[in-house]
Amino acid sequence: MRVLLVHPSPLMYSEIYLRLEPLGLERVAAAVRAAGHDVRLVDLQIFKHADLFREIESFRPDAVGFSLNYLANVPEVVDLARETRRRRPEALIFAGGHSVSFIAPETLDHAAGALDCIVRGEGEAITPRLLEARGDRRLESLPGVVTRHGAGPAPTLLDDLDRFPPARDFTRRRRKYFIGVLDPCASAELTRGCPWDCSFCSAWTFYSRSYRKASPEAAAEDLARIAEPNVFLVDDVAFVHPEHGFAIGAEIERRGIRKQYYLETRCDVLLRNREVFAYWKHLGLRYMFLGLEAIDEETLKAHRKRITPNDNFRALEVARELDLTVAVNIIADPDWDERRFALVREWALSVPEIVHLTVTTPYPGTEIWFTDSRRLTSLDYRLFDVQHAVVPTRLPLQQFYEELVRTQGVINRKHLGWAALRGAAGIVLPQLVRGQTNFLKSLWKFNRVYNAERQLGDHARPVTYAMRPPATLGGPRPRPADLYIHAPSNGAARDARATVTPTQGTPASH
- The whole-angstrom separation of Cα 484 and Cα 108 is 20
**456 contact, one of ligand B12, ligand SF4, none, CB 5-8 Å limit per kind:** none
Q: Shortest distance, CB of residue 300 to ligand SF4, whole angstroms?
A: 11
Q: Which is nearer to ligand B12, 268 or 385 (CB)?
A: 385
Residues 6+ apart with CB under 8 A from 442: 16, 17, 180, 416
- By CB under 6 A, the residues from 266 to 295 that bind ligand B12 are none
Kindly state whether residue 25 participates in binding ligand B12, applying the rule CB under 6 A. Answer: yes
**196 touching ligand SF4, by CB under 6 A:** yes
Select from 27-35, 162-170, 189-197, 369-377 the region that touches ligand SF4 (CB under 6 A).
Answer: 189-197
CA 324 to chain centre: 22
One character per residue 157-196, x = contact with ligand B12 (rule: CB under 6 A): --------------------------------x-------
Q: How far apart are CA 107 and CA 95, in angstroms?
A: 9
Q: 128 or 362, CB closer to ligand SF4?
A: 362
> Among positive and negative, which fits the CA dihedral 225, 228, 234, 237?
positive
Minimal CA–CA distance to 171: which of 3, 18, 25, 9? 25
DSSP 153-167: SPP---S-TTSS---
The pattern of x and - marking residues 353 through 382 that bind ligand B12 according to CB under 6 A reads -----x----x-------------------
Part of the chain binding ligand SF4 (CB under 6 A), chosen from 24-32, 197-205, 238-246, 329-337? 197-205
Number of chain residues interacting with ligand B12 (CB under 6 A):
40
Instruction: Write the CB contacts of 96 (distance below 8 Å, at least 6 apart in sequence).
Output: 28, 65, 66, 67, 68, 118, 119, 120, 121, 123, 127
- Please report how close the Cβ of residue 239 comes to ligand SF4 at its closest, in angstroms: 13
- 97, 184, 334, 488: residue in contact with ligand B12 (rule CB under 6 A): 97
CA 218 distance to own-chain centroid: 23
Nearer to ligand SF4, 41 or 331 (CB): 331
Q: Is 155 in the site for ligand SF4 (CB under 6 A)?
A: no
User: How far is Cα 410 from Cα 388, in angstroms, rounded to an integer?
Assistant: 19
DSSP tag of 17:
S
Task: CB nearer to ligand SF4: give 194 or 328.
Answer: 194
As beta bridge partners, residue 6 has 42, 66
Among 66, 204, 211, 450, binds ligand SF4 (CB under 6 A): 204
CB of 97 to ligand B12, least distance (A): 4
Using CA of residue 24, residue 53, residue 19, residue 249, what is the dihedral sign?
positive
Q: How far is the CB of 363 from ligand B12 (least distance, A)?
A: 4
Closest approach of ligand SF4 to the CB of residue 236, in Å:
4
Q: Is 202 in the site for ligand B12 (CB under 6 A)?
A: yes
Could you give the CA distance from residue 191 to residue 237 in angstroms, rounded to a whole number? Answer: 8
Instruction: Assess 327 for contact with ligand SF4 (CB under 6 A).
Output: no
Sign of CA dihedral 74, 80, 83, 89: negative
The correct pick among 386, 390, 428, 449 for binding ligand B12 (CB under 6 A) is 386
- Cα separation, 4 vs 29, whole angstroms: 9
Site for ligand SF4 in 251-290 (CB under 6 A): 266
Backbone angles phi, psi at 211, to 5 degrees: -145, 105
Q: What residue 70 binds from ligand B12, ligand SF4, none (CB within 5 to 8 A, per partner kind)?
A: ligand B12
236 binds ligand SF4 (CB under 6 A): yes
Q: Residue 345's closest CA among 405, 303, 285, 407?
A: 407
Q: Tell me the torsion sign for CA atoms 54, 59, 64, 65.
A: negative
Counting contacts by CB under 6 A, is residue 380 touching ligand SF4?
no
The footprint of ligand B12 (CB under 6 A) covers 10-11, 13-14, 18, 20, 22-25, 27-28, 65-67, 69-71, 94-99, 119, 122-124, 127, 189, 201-203, 234, 236, 358, 363, 385-387
